[in-house]
Structure 1
Amino acid sequence: MVPLGLIAIVTVGDILAPPEVHLGPFLAAAPAVTASFAGPRTTACVGALAVLAQAVVAIVRTSLTDLNHSLQITALIMISVCVTFFAYLRERHEKQLTQLRAVAEAAQQVVLRPLPRRIGPLRIASVYMAAEAEAQIGGDLFAAVRTAHGTRFIVGDVRGKGLEAVGDAALLLGAFRAAAHRQADLPSLVASLEGTVSSNLDDPRAAVSATAAPSEGFITAAVLDIPDTTSVLHLINCGHPPPLLLHEGLVTALEVCEPAPPLGLTEFAGSPFAAQSFPFRPGDTLLLYTDGVIEARDDSGAFYPLAQRMAALGTGGPQRLLRRLREDLLSHTLGGHLGDDAAMVAIQRVRSE
């Protein structure tokens, strides 16, 4: 209605104005405004209506052959054609963005599958937060695989961003889901993951040229095995932030004695992977996370105190814990925006009934 009202006002004003006053050029604003929100068809219709209004003004005031009005009509036609073309380009671009966003959301569902709320004796919750508002996928990853004797988890962070990081995350998650069932122990599983990541990074087809520098990509990851029948968990940490364990209101970081290098750095791996066991009793809650959580800063530059906040907000189950942590994390950051992608997985062992 705004462009139509503008055409009506300018037309009436131009007809009633003194002979030396010409308001016709303002009619060009009508198709220009329409192109900012409507499609090419609507823009073209408004432009045609503006040209018709200019012709009516010319007939009423002088004639269509008057030089001044002829030039105004010609200029208005050219402007209407231009803005209609721009409206067409904008509409096509919006369709492409919509399609890309739909593909990204579908890719996220395939690569980063939502975790079930219950696996065996475990209650689970997960959340993924992108640093960019329009982003739907990134290099942070997590997954869970059910085995005959328990559940295996992985949480990781790919070095870098963009499609390359997404590809590396998909590669690691696919390898984890395939190998978690076959490998009898946790060190063999992590060794298999290391082989998959290293072979991909060493792919000669990925090199730009023979003189290109070797790839510096790697993936930090924490891989866990949580048995069903014993109150322990087994952990191998490959350069990832340590999981946090909430037990009776106290939060402890599960620091392993022999941390492994990140996946993909085979030249630094001097010894086989070794798993370390930690108590994981009924009622305990375990939090897996990526560095985007603990590296989030407030306006003063202070990092987010995850362990302290988990101890304060950790009651009520994993779903409530992650919901409250997410809200608290966003309120901590400057403007509610994260500087990096962040992911969290909360796992609670159910008390026996």
Structure 2
Amino acid sequence: MTQVNRRTQRLMAALPFAALFLVAALDALTGPDLGYLPLLAVGPAFASLVGDVRRTVTIGAVALSLSLFLSVYDGMLGDRRSDMSLISIAGVTAASILATVGRQRRERELASVRSVAEVAQRVLLRPVPRRAGHLRAAVSYTSATAEARIGGDLYEVVIGPGGVRAIVGDVQGKGLAAVESAALVLGAFREAAHDEPDLRGVSGRLEKALNRRLSGEEFVTAILVEAGPGGKLTLLNYGHPPPLVLRADGAIELAEPVETAPPLGLAVLEVEGPIPHQIDFGTGDQILLYTDGVIEARDRTGRFYPLTERAFLLKDDDPEAALEALRLDLVAHVDAPLHDDAAMLLLRFREG
């Protein structure tokens, strides 16, 4: 839980008591004529925001006790206004108890759904090899924590006969359905990456697998990478954010595709896939593949995360430490729960 969330929780927890204190002070200072006494029911009304049933009952009991005390203080005990105050507090407390029970039930259901989805994700997204051919690899996955917004971000690195192949993708949608689609993509990729002679063959297998399952406007953005001999990377971009390339001399560039192409799974459009494009990739170079949860993360002013400007954080000799520094900077930029999952895969040319 972030510091902001903890502060919000404390404020909501204190709100019923603050309301009771304010109403009691106003009634004690102004007397019975202005009729503040029924407003003590505001305390139990706020009680259902946080905490359990016992806490709600306690706040209701405090409100009733204050009402009785102030009735005696004002000389109104047994008066119609005093009775109406007690009835109002009792009624609002009962309603607040029911609301608390309903909120706790929804929280348990939400936690259960999220737990199942997170377990499915952890099984699906296995660790990538730290050394893959002539590359070193590191991966980072930051899950969104707002509601049950488990996403369909995916990544994988496969060492095949033709070299190292990797994928980073993002399934449209959230929840278990997105995790299921991500599992389909990864299963097809892991098999095809060993069998197909080139990336177009791999992506064709992914398209076939997705088109058998997806319907309507469902799709998967993805970028496929192949690191073969000769110091070249071959890229296929299916509607995905372009990778960030960091050169050994400090230069930074985005590996934009030659032509844009629609995401995977949209066979209904009847368009050809992307044209493979190559980039030089030599000693000291590294490439960062990421999902849109990274570049679309906003701070409290609405400013997107400036990934290119923060690329200098990837200078650490250890790829995992470098990627962790970038992840922490992303979380600090948002300073709140992420609204979307954020996956990053860093590939670095390894000497020797």
Aligning the two structures, in what range does the TM-score lie when normalised by the shorter sequence? Answer: 0.5 to 0.7
Question: In the aligned structure 2, how far is the partner of 1:304 from the partner of 1:10?
Answer: 45
Q: Distance in 1 between matches of 2:17 and 2:221?
A: 59
TM-score normalised to the size of structure 2? 0.68
Q: State the match for 1:122 in structure 2.
A: 135
Q: Secondary structure at the match of 1:343?
A: strand
Residue 180 (str. 1) matches residue 181 (str. 2): no
Match of 2:4 in 1: none
Aligned counterpart, 2:282: 281
- Secondary structure of the corresponding residue to residue 281 of structure 1: coil
User: Equivalents in 1 of 2:277, 2:323: separation in Å?
Assistant: 26
Distance 2:328 2:70 in 1: 60
Change (3 A) 1:162 1:39: closer
1:78 to 91, 106, 117: 91
Secondary structure class of the residue paired with 1:181: helix
The reply to whether residue 170 of structure 1 matches residue 171 of structure 2 is: no
Question: Which residue is 1:209 aligned to?
Answer: none
Deviations 1:269-323 (A, max 9, x none): 7779986665433432122234555677899999877567547854534334434
* Alpha-carbon spacing, 1:348–1:5, altered in 2? closer, same or farther (3 Å): closer
Shift of residue 195, structure 1, vs aligned partner: 1.1
| 1:63 Cα deviation after fit | 10
* Residue 326 (structure 1) shift: 4.7
Greater alpha carbon shift after TM alignment, 175-184 vs 292-301:
292-301
What's the CA shift string for 1:79-112, capped at 9, x where partnerless? 3222222222222233233333333433432344
Which residue, 112, 127, 130 being the options, matches 1:99? 112
Match in the other structure for 2:247: 247
Using the TM superposition, give the Cα deviation of residue 39 of structure 1 relative to its aligned residue in structure 2, in angstroms: 1.7
Aligned residues of 2:155 and 2:169 also touching (Cα < 8 A)? yes
Q: Distance in 2 between matches of 1:2 and 1:340?
A: 31
Q: 1:24 to 1:126 in 2, by over 3 A?
A: same
- SS of the aligned residue for 2:165 comes to strand
The one-letter code of the counterpart of 1:96 is E
Identity %: 40
Task: Let me know the Cα RMSD of the aligned residues.
Answer: 5.1
Distance change (3 Å), C-alpha of 1:281 and 1:7: closer
Q: Structure 2: 5+ residue runs without aligned partners? A: 1-13
Residue 40 (structure 2) pairs with residue 39 (structure 1): no
Aligned length: 338
- The equivalent residue for 1:263 is 264
Assess, with a 3 A threshold, how the Cα gap between structure 1 residues 322 and 81 changes in structure 2: closer, same or farther: same
Per-residue deviation at 1:168?
3.2
Point out the more displaced range, 239-248 or 253-262. 253-262
Instruction: Answer with 11-20 or 124-133: which moved more.
Output: 11-20
> Cα distance, 1:347 vs. partner?
0.7
Task: Select 1:190's aligned residue among 187, 191, 203.
Answer: 203
On the 8 A contact 2:117/2:175 being kept in 1, the answer is no
Q: Secondary structure at the match of 1:152?
A: strand
Q: Give matches, 1:176-255, under 5 Å.
A: 176-183=189-196, 185-201=198-214, 215-226=216-227, 231-249=231-249, 250-251=251-252, 253-254=254-255
Q: TM-score, length-normalised on structure 1? A: 0.68
2:146–2:339: 8 Å Cα contact kept in structure 1?
A: no
- Change in Cα spacing, 1:10 to 1:317, as seen in structure 2 (3 Å) is closer
Q: Is the 8 A contact 1:222 1:235 kept in 2?
A: yes
Residues 1:48 and 1:140: Cα distance change in structure 2 (over 3 Å)? closer
1:311 & 1:62 partners in 2: Cα distance?
72
Q: Distance in 2 between matches of 1:42 and 1:273?
A: 59
Larger Rg: 1
> Structure 1 residue 351 and structure 2 residue 351: aligned?
yes
Residue aligning to 1:319: 320
Contact 2:110 2:148 in 1 (8 A): no
Q: For 1:122-166, what per-residue CA distance to the aligned partner results, in whole angstroms no more than 9, with x for missing partners?
A: 322223456885565324432122335643211223456666555
Is the Cα–Cα contact under 8 Å of residues 251 and 311 in structure 1 kept in the other structure?
no
Question: In structure 2, the residue corresponding to 1:180 is in which secondary structure?
Answer: helix
Distance in 1 (CA, whole Å) between partners of 2:309 and 2:43 is 58
**Structure 1 unpaired stretches of 5+:** 202-213
The answer as to whether partners of 2:225 and 2:236 remain within 8 angstroms in 1 is yes
Q: Which region of structure 1 is more displaced relative to structure 2, 79-88 or 182-191?
A: 182-191
Q: Structure 1 residues 87, 273: CA separation in 2 closer, same or farther (over 3 Å shift)?
A: closer
Residues 22 and 248 of structure 1: is their aligned pair in 2 closer, same or farther, counting only changes over 3 Å? closer
- In the other structure, the counterpart of 2:157 is 144
CA distance in 2, matches of 1:21, 1:273: 74
User: What amino acid does structure 1 have at the position aligned with 2:100?
Assistant: A
Q: Which residue of 2 aligns with 1:90?
A: 103
* Cα pair distance change 1:311/1:161, threshold 3 Å: same
- After superposition, the Cα gap between the structure-2 partners of 1:118 and 1:61, relative to the gap in structure 1 and judged at 3 Å, is same
